[in-house]
Structure 1
């Protein structure tokens, strides 16, 4: 089923590149956390979407090998188009990756994993698998960065989040914002030590390190 989302990214040209305004709005806040916390080495970005973040973030971290990925073929086209326009030789070609399916972590060991605005778009069992697999992909001392809107004690952080959550659940009752406590429990069970950073527009960033 194709979800109706408020900001999925409009085409910007014949090369297949798409532009999502939300990726511009949240980029600086995410970058601030990455600048303070990101290790060196390889970073795997899961569900890279339009590819805007990959192009912008890779350019900001020239010593970090940036691996974008996605499951949607149209997204892969857009990510590659953004890669070609980016002044970032450390930005790798995107890979097709279903992060909820077991078996991929041994192929993509990474010092960091970044997940932006994904968990609310997939069922709980898939979200749990994505977090567990991502934790397994981390090298010793690696860090998982998880950003998006989340519930707090079962309640949305704003009226806008409540409307967004209701819209997702109306399209598919298995979808919707995940609760902060549920996410923390998943990360702890995966062997990570999470802490939460409050972000603009009622979003959260989980910074979860492997011992």
Structure 2
């Protein structure tokens, strides 16, 4: 079986790494939600050796993630764990959570469940970073994002670019305050929240 490969990971990994290098400088344990191929995990864990980087995804993606982790043989990437946001979450405490390009793939009730579960797996000062496209005030930030959203909805009626304000409202209920919103290449954002309550 060939390792899974997402070309977008190769393109966006270095800009994301610069955000994580600053935001996770004092962090120790990261839960990545929706690790996909595992490419991000290997790149970030190699560059940020002080972090234990815990991959997670639905069961069907774990074999591909294991291939990336096994090849890299990094000491700070434990075996990936199965995590469906609607299912059972790990009984662990993480001081950081990361997710890339997941919110627009999930149905909105799944996005809600993701945020509802965060308090149960994070420390009191945890930092949450989510990368991907967002709308603001119900509007697309670019023509390319509008086209991407049409493509998503053709794939599945539950998929769409999420409104930043709606996601912020979920984060606030979960005890997380927005502390940064960073413009990224290709009309994406890295949005950063910190748990305060």
- Using structure 1 for the length normalisation, give the TM-score: 0.87
How much has 1:174 moved relative to structure 2? 2.1
Query: In the alignment, which residue of structure 2 is the partner of 1:203?
Result: 188
How much has 1:28 moved relative to structure 2? 0.8
Pick from 10, 14, 23: which aligns with 2:9? 23
Query: In the alignment, which residue of structure 1 is the partner of 2:28?
Result: 41
**Is the CA contact (8 Å cut-off) linking 1:135 and 1:192 kept in structure 2?**
no
**Is 1:181–2:165 an aligned residue pair?**
yes
**Is the CA contact (8 Å cut-off) linking 1:20 and 1:50 kept in structure 2?**
yes
Matches of 1:30 and 1:151, distance apart in 2:
19
Query: In the alignment, which residue of structure 2 is the partner of 1:136?
Result: 120
Q: 5+ unaligned residues in a row in structure 1: which ranges? A: 1-13
**Matched pairs, number:** 194
Answer with 168-177 or 201-210: which moved more.
168-177
| Cα displacement string for residues 89-135 of structure 1 (whole angstroms, at most 9, x for unaligned residues) | 1111111111233x525x13101110100000011111111122124
Give the 3-state SS of the residue equivalent to 2:104 in structure 1: helix
| Cα displacement string for residues 175-210 of structure 1 (whole angstroms, at most 9, x for unaligned residues) | 200001111111111110113122121111111111
Matches within 5 A, 1:5-154: 14=1, 16-38=2-24, 39-73=26-60, 75-101=61-87, 103-104=88-89, 107-154=91-138
Matches of 1:162 and 1:100, distance apart in 2:
28
| Cα displacement string for residues 132-170 of structure 1 (whole angstroms, at most 9, x for unaligned residues) | 212432101111111101112112222221111112212
Give the 3-state SS of the residue equivalent to 1:121 in structure 2: coil
Runs of 4+ in 1 over 3 A off after TM superposition: none
**Is the CA contact (8 Å cut-off) linking 2:13 and 2:40 kept in structure 1?**
yes
**Is the CA contact (8 Å cut-off) linking 1:144 and 1:207 kept in structure 2?**
yes
Give the 3-state SS of the residue equivalent to 2:140 in structure 1: coil
Q: 5+ unaligned residues in a row in structure 2: which ranges? A: none
Give the 3-state SS of the residue equivalent to 1:113 in structure 2: strand
